[in-house]
């Protein structure tokens, strides 16, 4: 049976808090960076960049805009987005989730 001292427990809790805080901070940084790229590429405002915003229906992107946006995302986040995966990236939240998953790997 393992015996833990108060110091061991406190160190472990501090370590877990640091991991959670850094994870949340990292996710917020990804979200803000994705939104910044979208704002620049599609010439839209921060207020328009809500997670559920559709690139085509809400932000007025056409196919050329989407291709340029994807190329910029690939460059900024060091990811490669296949044509099949591209079909599933319809909203800002879709892109944020995609980048988060790829950043973890």
Instruction: Verify whether residue 58 is a known catalytic residue.
Output: no
Distances (CA, A) of 14 to 23, 29, 47, 73: 14, 22, 36, 34
Distances (CA, A) of 101 to 57, 91, 93: 25, 16, 12
62, 78, 83, 94: the catalytic one is 62
User: How many CA atoms within 13 Å lie on the side-chain side of 69?
Assistant: 28
Active site residues: 62
């Amino acid at each position: 049976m393992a015996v833990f001292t108060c110091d061991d427990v406190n160190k472990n809790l501090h370590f877990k808090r640091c991991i959670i805080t850094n994870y949340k901070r990292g996710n917020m940084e990804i979200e803000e960076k994705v939104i910044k790229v979208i704002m620049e590429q599609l010439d839209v405002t921060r207020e328009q960049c809500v997670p559920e915003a559709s690139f085509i229906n809400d932000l007025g992107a056409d196919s050329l805009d989407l291709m340029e946006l994807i190329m910029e995302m690939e460059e900024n986040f060091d990811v490669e987005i296949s044509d099949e995966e591209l079909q599933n990236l319809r909203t800002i939240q879709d892109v944020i989730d995609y980048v988060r998953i790829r950043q973890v790997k």
